Amino acid sequence: MNCPKCNKPNREKAVFCKWCGTNVVTKATEPLRELVGMETVKNQLQDLVNTCESLALRAQRSGISIRLGMDMIITGNTGTGKTKLAGVLQKLLYSSGIIKKPAMKVVDAVDYEEFAKEWEKNTADLKGGILCIENVQKLLPSGAANDINKLDKLFSCMDKWNNDPIVILSGLSSAFKEFLVSNPDVRNRFEYYFDLKDFSMEELKQLCIHELKKRYGIALSEEADAKLERVFKNEMRQKSDDFGNGHLAVKKAADIFANTIKRDPNASVAIPEDIPGKEFRQKSYEEIMAELDEFVGIDEIKATVQKIINKIDFERERKGAGAKREVKDHFLFLGNPGTGKTTIARIFADILNSLEVLPIGQLVEVSRKELVAGYVGQTALAVEKYVDMAMGGVLFIDEAYTLKQGDNDQFGQEAIDTLLKLVEDRRGQFVAIAAGYTKEMGEFLSSNSGMASRFNETVTFRDYKADELTEIFRRQVKKEHLTLDEEAEAFIRNYF
């Protein structure tokens, strides 16, 4: 969280700023302690608190109370803390004197029509408070809203309410963001927008530990703590669209508690045997490089990978003692189909993970089909979605030259523009690999000026030679526990 005075970053648990000594936890900011992770959101909330305090001071000195717009939107995937954030916002605004009611009115989408039946009475009762509508994506039309929809009356009334009550709309990222992009007039009615990202592996672990301690009074042994991290790392590497985020951490805490008291009803410390779930087995750098050495016909690739690693190590040494390994590059993998680009990308991700350059090391594979949508605004959201999924790992864009198909392909260009911004803005937080045929990728790069500077390292995959293909075939036969007779051996030599 940033210091309210000097605006420099501090640890989440800090009480005083390590830079200027200011107390970073005040009565107004105490609710921020309830949020795990969400550093960007906390800084937004700190700005909100500062605004509230400034309004209060001005009112005291002038005797004139001015009410600024504070209507808010919260978007995020399942389990990212939307409901929790809404509750923290209620506490912040109440402690700052902006609202007078100590509790907000929460209306889920399934109850909205019932709430709207007595609209005038229900909304009048909310003066001095907050109206929070959750799962709002269920109330929205798809695409641009040309017809009257269920929220139009709310939007109309917001113009007359003079920012009282404050309105918070909360919903899932995919559908809600798409609606906001297609309807900028709706987005412009709201002064604050909180876009909650998926929890990182460390944040999931901390949330689970917090839940164990607060709800169940259970601590973790050192070994159990380490195992929990490996379990969450495996979950993160297998992450899909329905990833539970905070729900996963809360359920894991409940399962750990159940296992702990089954083992010993009086236990207050969980041990490794109490931690459920499959663990990620971290391969060592030496193990991964040994796997790479087993591949046939990629000596040039091995040398290139080693140069990349040497560059990473050189940059760390140049920064001095205590510096961490970092990768600030994105890569082009050029070559024909079947030359091993995807396989080497997966091994490369494991290498960077083993060196602690990337915390997760997952490989997220995409192509034009996943990144380019059919409506304005959807493409940017799709690209952002897959970049979010690749955070801490590698985004592999297969046949990247197909992203834009001709000069009139606006959606393809939108995908490229969004990708270029994200790979630059999040440089060092993940690695992007654009893969494809050498010739087509060359034309693609020359037609998109920003690509070459963002994807600044190239790995070239040559075609296999005949003797290399023969050896690959032999190894596959052996892997299937089969053998070649003399006639078959002679045939495959001549075939390749």
Question: By CB neighbour count within 10 A (0-12 exposed, 13-18 middle, 19+ buried), where does 22 fall?
Answer: middle
Q: Could you tell me whether strands 219-220 and 192-196 are parallel, antiparallel, or unpaired per DSSP bridges?
A: unpaired
Separation of alpha carbons 241 and 154, rounded Å: 31
- What confidence score (pLDDT) does residue 196 get? 93
- What confidence score (pLDDT) does residue 18 get? 56
- What confidence score (pLDDT) does residue 174 get? 82
- What confidence score (pLDDT) does residue 23 get? 44
Cβ–Cβ under 8 Å, residues 341 and 348: no
Separation of alpha carbons 115 and 131, rounded Å: 11
Per-10-residue mean pLDDT, the chain, length 496:
60 52 57 82 85 82 79 93 93 86 93 93 92 93 62 89 92 88 88 92 94 95 96 91 89 97 95 96 91 91 93 90 90 94 95 94 95 85 93 96 89 92 94 94 83 91 91 87 84 83
Strand, coil or helix: what is 22? coil
DSSP assignment of 120-186 equals: HHHHHTTTTSEEEEESGGGGPPSSS--S--TTHHHHHHHTTTTT-SEEEEEEEHHHHHHHHHH-HHH
- What confidence score (pLDDT) does residue 25 get? 46
The angle, 0 to 180 degrees and rounded to 10, between the axes of the packed helices 378-390 and 410-425 is 30
Separation of alpha carbons 71 and 48, rounded Å: 12
- What confidence score (pLDDT) does residue 211 get? 94
Cβ–Cβ under 8 Å, residues 81 and 109: no
Cβ–Cβ under 8 Å, residues 160 and 73: no
- What confidence score (pLDDT) does residue 1 get? 52
- What confidence score (pLDDT) does residue 337 get? 92
Separation of alpha carbons 283 and 305, rounded Å: 17
Separation of alpha carbons 206 and 204, rounded Å: 5
